[in-house]
Amino acid sequence: MHQNWAGNLTYSAREIVRPTTLEQLADLLAGPERVRALGSRHSFNDVADTDGVHVQVDVLDDGRPAVDVLDADGVENGVVSVNAGLRYGEVSRGLHATGRGLGNMASLPHISVAGAVATATHGSGDANQSLAGAVVGLELMTPAGELRRITRDEHPDVFPGTVVSLGALGVVTRVELATVPTFAVRQDVAEGLPWDAYLENFDAITSAAYSVSAFTSWDEPAVRHVWFKSVVGSDGGGVPQVPGARWSTVPVHPLPGVDASATTEQLGVTGPWHERLSHFRLEFTPSAGAEVQTEYLLPRRNAVAAIEAVRGLGPKVAPLLQTSEIRTVAADDLWLSPFDEPSVGLHFTWLPREADVRALLPDLEAALLPLGARPHWGKVSTVDPRDMAALYPRFGDFRDLAGRFDPDGRLHGGLVARLLG
């Protein structure tokens, strides 16, 4: 028996298999049992679960470099192909060494590429799409043992349905990501920004830097911290222009009272993109470990109304909360992505009291679902899977696609089985 990273979920799979070759993976998929890909176990629900076999591809060797900068006719095209089981922190270091970078990172560099992409995990920034938005191609092995490469350019009819796929189409072995020239970032933290100032200037604040995240416990008189990650230009960059901001003079952690040694460097110190865009350093265990997470993604046009609705529930929310984060995300065209228009994410890191959290969530969902909220695919919610499916206009097309790739449902399990069953 094995558990997810936070320890709030025990998986049903009888074993974990880590094939080292494509042939071994094909043999596993040809067997009689159900199979589900397992990433870095940073999902807080059973989206990756199965009663059969879990497969991890982090040690899979297909004869190519784990981080392989591609080219077209001998000219680099800005695309990198990576082993799907690698963590973003590992990919980013290898990529930076080549002079390239990713446009965005999630809060944690510890999550696997394929797992984050499959669940529409995201970072922050008005112009930054989710991590899945950087995908231009992927390779996956279907339950029939067929290795397929699907790209945006060559398969425009089905590509948008194969990226955020919840692992329902096959075991992803490689992911192709669009890159940018490497760049430098500084990180500054504003403290105690009054709620009125934050909400009245929401658009100006979220656009004041490349990536902006606000942290709160919802019952506080002010937004506790707002983290600004700014791209540094030839002039050396500077502190973002935010009226009324009081800038922290010591490093801070997203969780109140926790030592900041695990966080990426702050106080305006310039560093490479992969050492600033995430909140935490790869070498440290992030956050508190024992926790439960929930997130709701909403249309940005309803951001202020959603924030005010949660503030109204502050007395109920705060006693169960470690911290909460507010982020913005740009739109994409992926079928199961919750970001079909500019969006805002309201993220909750709870104390490890899941029964109490689940008792509270219907109140949160009653306030947020009428505003267009969709639960994060990999986090805890109490929304019925049938209702979750109904929130996505292309879900019927995705169901059909999953039926073509996996006609016998051997990749079904956990949340995916309830969605597609």
Its pTM stands at 0.95
Lowest mean pLDDT among 39-48, 336-345, 354-363: 39-48
Indicate if the pLDDT at residue 29 is higher than 90. yes
For the CA atoms of the chain, what is the radius of gyration?
A: 21
Distance of CA 70 to the CA centre of its chain: 25
- Enclosing H/E stretch for 170: none
Q: What is the mean pLDDT of residues 188-215?
A: 96
Are 228 and 235 in contact by the 8 Å Cβ rule? The answer is no
- For 250-259, write each residue's pLDDT tens digit: 999 999 888 8
Q: What is the DSSP string of 282-326?
A: TTS--S-SS-EEEEEEEEGGGHHHHHHHHHHTHHHHGGGEEEEEE
Indicate if the pLDDT at residue 37 is higher than 70. yes
Q: What is the DSSP string of 190-217?
A: EEEEEHHHHHHTHHHHHTSSSEEEEEE-
Band (pLDDT 50/70/90 cuts) for residue 139 is very high
Indicate if the pLDDT at residue 236 is higher than 60. no
What is the pLDDT, as a whole number, of residue 241?
83
Band (pLDDT 50/70/90 cuts) for residue 74 is very low
Where do the domains of the chain lie, and which CATH numbers do they carry?
Answer: 67-182 (3.30.465.10), 184-375 (3.30.70.2520)
Lowest mean pLDDT among 39-43, 222-226, 231-235, 266-270: 231-235
Q: What is the mean pLDDT of residues 280-285?
A: 84
Greater pLDDT, 282 or 382: 382
Percentage of the chain lying above the pLDDT 70 cut = 96
Band (pLDDT 50/70/90 cuts) for residue 31 is confident
Lowest mean pLDDT among 12-16, 60-64, 185-189, 282-286: 282-286
What is the pLDDT, as a whole number, of residue 373?
98
Indicate if the pLDDT at residue 36 is higher than 70. yes
What is the pLDDT, as a whole number, of residue 71?
66
At how many degrees (to 10) do helices 303-312 and 354-368 cross? 130
What is the pLDDT, as a whole number, of residue 147?
96
Strands (E), 18-131: 35-37, 53-55, 67-72, 75-83, 100-101
What distance in Å separates the CA atoms of residue 127 and residue 375, rounded to the nearest whole number?
22
Indicate if the pLDDT at residue 219 is higher than 90. yes
Indicate if the pLDDT at residue 73 is higher than 80. no
- pLDDT, averaged across the chain: 93
Count each helix (H run) and each strand (E run) in the chain, helices first.
Answer: 12, 19
Band (pLDDT 50/70/90 cuts) for residue 237 is low
What is the pLDDT, as a whole number, of residue 76?
64
Q: What is the mean pLDDT of residues 284-309?
A: 90
Band (pLDDT 50/70/90 cuts) for residue 234 is low
Q: What is the mean pLDDT of residues 294-306?
A: 98
What is the pLDDT, as a whole number, of residue 245?
84
Are 207 and 123 in contact by the 8 Å Cβ rule? The answer is no
Indicate if the pLDDT at residue 72 is higher than 60. no
